[in-house]
Structure 1
């Protein structure tokens, strides 16, 4: 399965989501979510694989709030999201992740000093460790996380901030995304978007 149709047009800024776009880390994130949610008392039917992927790119705190509202459960969004992050980092250290060749090779093809940035729903420690585990931390000197903005995806804040830090106007930027919240955020930011497809087998793999 070809996961991405690469653009031929040149842009002033190239902004990438991280998990599921540059790195095959979504199955590991899902495992961390299942463990954290079970510990917090969420019902098993909350956040099954398709729903998990539909929330890709959202901050962990926003995901917990979404689950609480949809399933009528009471959980501390800060405590659960922190537990999920810690669980993910432990899994990452033990199991590791791999880069997605199509997007990472494209970044390398842009050359040294290219106007590239990451805008991810992960917090900075997790983002940095994910990049390091995949062996691509040197490709992205600019990383924007939910800590940097008032609103995470699907709001456009992270993409707009990434463009600003790249010195590019939003209309001259392209976003690479695998999940609907990020695609919505790119549209809200006035940016073109390249979708990175999720292989169908991932829904059964996780």
Structure 2
């Protein structure tokens, strides 16, 4: 699969960089403000999920009712906290093997796209000093459907001008693996095999693919 790919599409959180911890801190602070505790176990439900859907889950956990307008304000408040955290990011926070693997793909002429629900993706790539390695960035500002819907990966293939069958998706969330498969791409799971069992190949990180 990897030997024959012409394009690659990478999720951001958990594959390129671990910003999940900053999402968790921002959500936890919002929950505390609303009067309830948000745990790491709760946070598992938010992985790979859009910002507004994450907020709906958080409010459900806390048993909090809020109008649409109030939810928009809460989501903005959470994002402001998150952006404050990620403004401190630098390339030292790249996960092991990321720069080496991406550079290797570039040298082989393989297209590279990002496929992430994050609306801060381009900012994060700039902070990590790897934006120039990507041919296309499909993020939460360019899609309307969250994973496991395949929209983000289909748009990634389109941006790379490749058929999905020639592209491989790199994902750390079960919903992302399902989205990649639904798009018709090959899928490499990053993380635990028991969670990512639908992937074609599972590795602990991109470092495992560096030759």
Structure 1-normalised TM-score?
A: 0.80
SS in 1 for 2:49: coil
Distance 1:162 1:145, change over 3 A: same
Deviation at 1:188, TM superposition (A): 1.7
Moved >6 Å (runs of 4+): none
Deviation at 1:118, TM superposition (A): 0.3
Counterpart for residue 62 of structure 1:
53
Rg: which structure is higher? 2
SS in 2 for 1:9: helix
Between the aligned partners of 2:42 and 2:25, the Cα distance in structure 1 is 14
Deviation at 1:91, TM superposition (A): 1.1
Distance 1:8 1:175, change over 3 A: closer
From 20, 33, 43, give the equivalent of 2:27: 33
Counterpart for residue 136 of structure 1:
130
Output aligned runs, 1:111-190, within 5 Å. 111-112=106-107, 114-123=110-119, 126-190=120-184
Tell me, which stretches of 5 or more residues in structure 2 are unaligned? 193-203, 205-211
Output aligned runs, 1:62-101, within 5 Å. 62-69=53-60, 71-75=62-66, 76-94=70-88, 96=90, 98-101=93-96
Tell me, which stretches of 5 or more residues in structure 1 are unaligned? 1-6, 200-206
Say yes or no: does 1:108 pair with 2:99: no
Counterpart for residue 4 of structure 1:
none
From 161, 185, 210, give the equivalent of 1:191: 185
The higher-RCO structure (CA 8 Å, 6+ apart) is 1
Deviation at 1:129, TM superposition (A): 2.2
Between the aligned partners of 2:162 and 2:39, the Cα distance in structure 1 is 38
Distance 1:78 1:194, change over 3 A: same
Structure 2-normalised TM-score?
A: 0.79
SS in 1 for 2:57: helix
CA RMSD of aligned residues (A): 2.2
Deviation per CA, 1:97-138, whole angstroms, max 9, x where unpaired?
611122332111012553110011110xx2122112222122
Counterpart for residue 36 of structure 2:
43
